[in-house]
Chains A and B, each alone.
Chain A
Amino acid sequence: MKRFEEIPHTADWSFRAFGKDLRELFENAAFAIFALEGGTSRDLERDAQAREHANETARVVAVRAMDYESLLVNWLTELLWLQESHHETYQRFHIETLSPTALRAQVFGTPMTGLDKIIKAVTYHNLKIVQTARGWEAVVVVDV
């Protein structure tokens, strides 16, 4: 299954993330954020090879929210905060627990080098998490 696809947006960035379940959807949305910034290769194989040699740092993320959509915004926002605080980009995401109002995850990052742009914020614009025949989807718009 494709992890995400970019959706054309005139001024900002938008993507549709996919997952066989909600946990995978949240992980793939996080992957999309850093892939769009250029910090993660979209080539999964090359990415996996690079990881073997990468000096990854593990960090714990725990966020709460009022519903799944807010939780998705808060999860992605928290990752951007970690990025800015530690000057890292994140390639791997392991969600340990996920409920409609809380998420706990381990994320693995490497030092941020050569990014052209970082995302300013994750918006709620037209945000909806929907179940499809193949799993789950969410469309996210980010301000750049």
Chain B
Amino acid sequence: MITKQNLERIADYIWQVPQNFRGDMRAPARLYASEELLEDALQDESVNQLVNTATLPGIVKYAIAMPDIHQGYGFPIGGVVATQLPDGVISPGGVGYDINCGVRLLASHLHAEEIAPHVKDLATALYKNCPSGVGSEGSVPLNAKQLDDVLEQGAEWAVNASRGYARRDDLDRTEEFGKMPGADAGAVSKRAKERGRKQLGTLGAGNHFIEVDHVAEVYDAAIADRLGLFAEQVVVQIHCGSRGLGHQVCTDYVNDFQRAVREYQIELPDRELVCAPLNSPEGQTYFKGMAAAANFAFANRQILAYHIRRSLEEVLAGIVKDFDVFQIYDIAHNMAKVEEHDIENKRVKVCVHRKGATRAFGPGSSVLPDDLRDIGQPVLIPGSMGTASYVLVGTGKAMTETFGSTCHGAGRVMSRARAKKEVRGEKLRDELASRGIVVRAGSMPGLAEEAPQAYKDVARVVAVVHNAGIGRRVARLEPLAVIKG
């Protein structure tokens, strides 16, 4: 077990496990945390998992963990590792099973008070129109050709389908413009496709949600204005990923890579970290499959956004003048990406794994759309259920310190089993209702698992990344309605 004594304090919010802590480390391991969040991180296996990621061949600079770090499998949740190309590795387990799990934020032109009498109806419409829960099937069944198109085109497929699923400006405000380069439907197994065929436009269960929020506080008025955010505005968040298709892609490749590590003579402390050089046939095939699953997730959130637009129309047409929503941004938080970063005054191509971490590119990044380039990439940090969420922008410091990455959420501190023992779903729903938050959920035990007390305080997590300079706070959102499977 790693203790505080094993860590060096590098700066106010940066702690480091030196490379000589364990003989198999290929780089140091860094953790962004306050004293309090560091104590949380040391309660479970997460820092040990962080150290394990520092053994990956080709790792550049250091393994990184964000302040929302918690125990995962292989990588900790909140982990970032970059490997230098061409021969640095890619690890399917390092991306995880819910490939391109992510968050989308849609913004209305409405003030919270305008929809106050209609929030319950809106929550009911969203719950009805956005399929959720165990075994849920989508409203957009796909034939084999259509699914291949989704896998290779991502959210762009939803625009091309010409059924009103998407608008061109949605893509402009999506990471990778909603389409991961290099995706190949041929690298996705028959079983993964079978699982995905009926799941496009579904939320799933677990910690995934749709949330209607209002902008409770604006910290940076100029940037908020540029993004289209204003105080008391009604906005909607979507949190979900690539569903069974992504889970299967990861399962398939973690299994395949068990042999690859033998072939490439890679020794690892954990078989979930199996990896292969990105330039190897195995690495290339996984990358193509992962990118395809990521595209499925972009399209999935796009179809859910379509259902949200339908729901707003259903409830608010004829009541308010403008019920349209436009996209603030859509970000991924489980992904491996090929990026260029400045390392020791050289431009270096790396494979950045973000497992429960968000890309947070700063101002000037050439991959951002023209209208966002001078302010940096929007970053969306959902809090736990019933608590605040945050909008940030990426920073130059994130580019130099964390490969343009920041945190992704609050981070769990309590096991699901304990949360279910300590919290009754019905009671939690009533408590949220007494605070004016409408809940529509398919499962009360599932709701209990996601109780706010099972998570860290998102405000403290966001304060760390803001104060450390690897994200800049723009606005705080507070919930009006939560929709869960």
Contact = CB atoms under 8 A, between A and B. Distances in A.
Interface of A: 6, 8-13, 38, 65-66, 69-70, 73-74, 77, 81, 84-85, 87, 112, 115-118, 120-127, 141, 143-144
Contact of A125 (B70, B98, B272): B272
Interface footprint category on B: 35 or more
Given A12-B73, A126-B270, A143-B96, 7 more contacts: A10-B413, A117-B446, A121-B251, A124-B274, A125-B93, A141-B73, A143-B98
Contacts of A10: 44, 46, 70-71, 412-415
B134 A117 contact: yes
Nearest to B417: A6
A11 B96 CA distance: 13
B134 A116 contact: yes
Interface string B322-366: 000000000000000000000000000000000000000000000
Interface string B448-461: 01000000000000
Interface stretch (B2-10, B31-39, B252-260, B475-483): B252-260
29 contacts: A8-B417, A9-B415, A10-B71, A10-B412, A10-B413, A10-B414, A12-B416, A13-B416, A66-B258, A66-B259, A74-B255, A77-B251, A81-B191, A84-B135, A85-B194, A112-B134, A118-B135, A118-B205, A120-B247, A121-B97, A123-B93, A124-B254, A125-B74, A125-B93, A125-B272, A126-B270, A126-B272, A143-B73, A143-B98
A144 B73 contact: no
Nearest to A10: B71
B77 A8 contact: no
B98 A120 contact: yes
Nearest to B71: A10
B382 to A, nearest CB: 15
A118 B134 contact: yes
Given A74-B255, A87-B135, A118-B135, A123 B74 contact: yes
A124 B97 contact: no
B168 interface: no
A4 B194 CA distance: 32
Interface string B38-79: 000000101000000000000000000000001111100100
Contacts of A117: 134, 205-206, 443, 446, 449
A87 B135 CA distance: 8
Contacts of B412: 10-11
A8 B418 contact: yes
A121 B247 contact: yes
Contacts of B98: 120, 143
A35 to B, nearest CB: 12
Contact of B206 (A6, A81, A144): A144
B70 A121 contact: no
Contact of A11 (B70, B74, B254, B274): B70
Contacts of A144: 206, 416
Contacts of A12: 71-73, 416
A116 B446 contact: yes
Contacts of B258: 66, 70, 124
Contacts of B417: 6, 8, 13
A140 to B, nearest CB: 10
Contacts of B310: none
